[in-house]
Amino acid sequence: MRKKKQLPFFEKVEIIDIGAEGKAIAKINDLIVFIPYVIPGDIVDIQINKKKKNFLEGYAVKFHEYSPDRQEAFCSHFGICGGCKWQILPYQEQLKFKQKQVVDNLERIGKIKLEEIGDILPSEKTTYYRNKLEYSFSNKRWLTNDEIDDEDNESKQMNALGFHIPKKFDKILNIEHCYLQKEPSNKIRLAVKQYALDNNLSFFDLRKQNGFLRNLIIRTSTTNELMVIVSFYYEDEKEREKLLNHLSENFDEISSLMYVINSKPNDSITDLDVKLFKGKDHFFEEMENLRFKIGPKSFYQTNSEQAYNLYKIVREFANLCGKENVYDLYTGTGTIANFIAKQSKKVIGIEYIEEAIEDAKINSTINNIDNTEFFAGDIKDILSQEFIDEKGKPDVIIIDPPRAGMHKNVIESILYAMPKKIVYVSCNPATQARDINLLLENYSVKKIQPVDMFPHTHHVENVALLELKTQG
């Protein structure tokens, strides 16, 4: 049997930058090395664990010197949980690297000459800013190194309620306190877990696909309404009702208490019947003078307060005067479409998720908006030349695609439609840069505005304004 080749080990290496996916960068013999959980200025010993042709990946095994910028992580789960990886980087430094990420992608991938770029818009809240979290139950709790080494610990209690360990699909980190969502999120999670342990309810086994308790979804709102959805693997009416009654009796704040039976291999509930146990089957979010109905399956930007700031930038870039025909592509639940409707002549929203389009229509009705029209289906199929000719060419197109960006057919349809302005919202500046590059023959990039939606992560939102070049 061939002996496995020993991967390199490097001593006293300085971390010099932060790159793709938020990992820090060192340079060894002209090779880029990506390392998590370190920041520029740290000097560390690095164990390489992945060797590629053009780069290496590794992890820090010893710190010789800490960066002067480094700060203490505030969460006890830092370094194990997959979220909030930038806690050790001061917030102003996080913003600096996010801004740099946007500029680098647009200039390097998009070959875009940037005329005007605003300073990244910080999030007012850097903790407790999310309005939705999903926790998973597991009978395969992730053990820390300390727990493994401690023979006297309570590791025999293997049930957990928390988050998936990165790259370990069946392991769940038991969460004591999460800084992402305001209370009573933590209190509800801990109460459900304690009740389950006290009453010997079985936690889900993802490999064997059995166990009673599967997921816990908590949604909060700026209107102080609260939705809780408990996902069970199978129906046991007696035990289900006892658990839900326990929640109802102990948390008056819950305005929507719901449940779902999910016996599928995956955790998604979008194709399942979510049932109401107590309260209402929805709540409302508010933005300016608009109300948005949120159901158990509805999509809504997870940082509500910063979403409002993002949409104001979109509206400012579109600069509508009430005479424009606007297309809102990847409209989701029609939040942007409804937000700009009163400044438009007509807004057409397209989205591939049918339930989201139904929400968009409801939100127009709730807000007495009668100049929107929504279509469900794959945008590359719906946004044809025939569709554009029938509905009228748009003056403005707003785009907010998923991380993968736009399909080339959608870009071709946009070039056929030839709107005067395109406002491109993206959660992935790399694919945004690629897409914009394909529009540059006919459009100029006039403004760029990065927005931080997710503090303590590498993720950054970016809004770009493109204007049609004068023909002739």
Active site residues: 427
In angstroms, the CA 291 to CA 173 distance is: 36
Task: Give the CA angle between residues 370, 371, 375 to the nearest 5°.
Answer: 100
> What residue has token string 């945008």?
379
Task: Give the CA angle between residues 374, 377, 379 to the nearest 5°.
Answer: 90
Chain centre distance of CA 134: 12
**Is residue 367 within 8 Å of residue 393, measured between CB atoms?**
no
In angstroms, the CA 246 to CA 238 distance is: 12
Strand order in the sheet with 275-279: 168-174, 160-165, 132-138, 213-220, 226-232, 256-261, 275-279
E runs forming strands in 332-456: 346-351, 372-376, 396-399, 421-426, 443-451
CB atoms within 10 A of CB 370: 9
In angstroms, the CA 331 to CA 462 distance is: 17
Structure tokens at 321: 């005067």
Structure tokens at 180: 């992402």
**Is residue 178 within 8 Å of residue 185, measured between CB atoms?**
yes
Q: Is the peptide bond before 8 cis (omega within 30 degrees of 0)?
A: no
In angstroms, the CA 90 to CA 73 distance is: 10
Structure tokens at 253: 């704040």
Please name the amino acid found at residue 334. G
Please name the amino acid found at residue 461. E
> Which of 137-170 are b and which e, b meaning 16 or more Cβ less than 10 Å from the residue's Cβ?
bbbbbbbeeeeeeeeeeeeeeebbbbbbbeeeeb
Chain centre distance of CA 112: 26
Strand order in the sheet with 55-65: 9-14, 43-51, 55-65, 31-35, 24-28, 17-18
**Is residue 405 within 8 Å of residue 302, measured between CB atoms?**
no
